[in-house]
Amino acid sequence: MRDGMDQERISQLPIGGGEAARLRGRQSVRTTFKLPEQSIRALSLLASQLGIKQKSLFDHLIADMEALTAIAREFDAFPSESRRVAKTYVISKKTLENLEQVSSEYNTPRDALVAVSLNRIFPLIEQEKEKHLQRQELVGDVRQWLVEGTALCTQAESELGADDPAMAELRAMMRPVVKAFANIESMVDKGSEIETFQVD
C-alpha cells in the first residue's frame, strides 16, 4: 500500500520533460563487461580508498561523451596478452546509453571503451598509494604522541591525584587523540591492499 502511495505522489510531481529524462538517466541498471583483471582491481581499490561507491566512480569515468569518443577514435584492439574477466556492475542508465551510443557509432566494443576509460584511474591509484605511505608514517607519529601523553597523564595523576580538576582536563584532552589515532590506524589498515598494486 505504501509503495502505491509513493508512486502516486511521485507521478504528481511537477517535473518538466527535461528534468524527468535526467532523473530517468540516474536509474541504476546491471550490466556485465569483460575487463582486464588489473582494471577491475583498480576500480575496487580506488573506490575503497576514496570512500565512494564503485557505481559513482564508474559513472564519473564513463559519463564524459567527449572522452569516450576520443577513445573510440583511437582504439585499435585489446592487447593479445590481456586476460579479461566477466564482471557485473551497477551503473546509471545514462552511462549505459552513452556507452551504447559511442560503441555503435564508432563500431568499438563496449568492453574496450570501459577498459581504456578505467586506465585513467591508474595515476590516481599511484597518488593514493603515496598518501597511504604518508598515513603510515602519521600513524607512527600519533602513536608516539599518544604514548607521551599517556605518560604525562600517569605522572600528573601520581603528583596531583586522580580527583584533581587538572586531571579532568588532561583526560578530556587525551580522549580525541585516542579516537583520532584509532581512526587513522583503521584507515591505514583498510588501505593496506593498495600497497601491492602495480601498474603493468
Instruction: Output the pLDDT for position 146.
Output: 92
Over residues 8-46, the pLDDT tens digits come to: 544 444 444 444 445 455 688 999 999 999 889 999 998
Q: Is 84 exposed, middle or buried (0-12, 13-18, 19+ CB in 10 A)?
A: middle
Residue 92 in contact with residue 59, Cβ under 8 Å?
yes
Instruction: Output the pLDDT for position 78.
Output: 64
Grid-cell match 591492499, residue found: 193
Instruction: Output the pLDDT for position 79.
Output: 61
Q: Is 193 exposed, middle or buried (0-12, 13-18, 19+ CB in 10 A)?
A: middle
Sequence ranges of the domains in the chain: 17-123, 130-196
DSSP per position, 37-71: HHHHHHHHHHHHHHT--HHHHHHHHH--HHHHHHH
Give the whole-angstrom CA distance, residue 26 versus residue 97. Answer: 11
Instruction: Render the burial of 147-167: b for 16+ CB within 10 Å, e for the rest.
Output: eeeeeeeeebbeeeeeeeeeb
Give the whole-angstrom CA distance, residue 51 versus residue 56. Answer: 11
Q: Which amino acid, residue 125?
A: I
pTM score? 0.68
Q: List the grid coordinates of 47.
A: 573506490
Give the whole-angstrom CA distance, residue 123 versus residue 103. Answer: 25
Instruction: Output the pLDDT for position 20.
Output: 45
Instruction: Output the pLDDT for position 26.
Output: 65
Q: What percent of the chain has pLDDT over 90?
A: 44
Low-confidence ranges of the chain (pLDDT < 50): 2, 6-7, 9-21, 23
Q: List the grid coordinates of 36.
A: 582486464
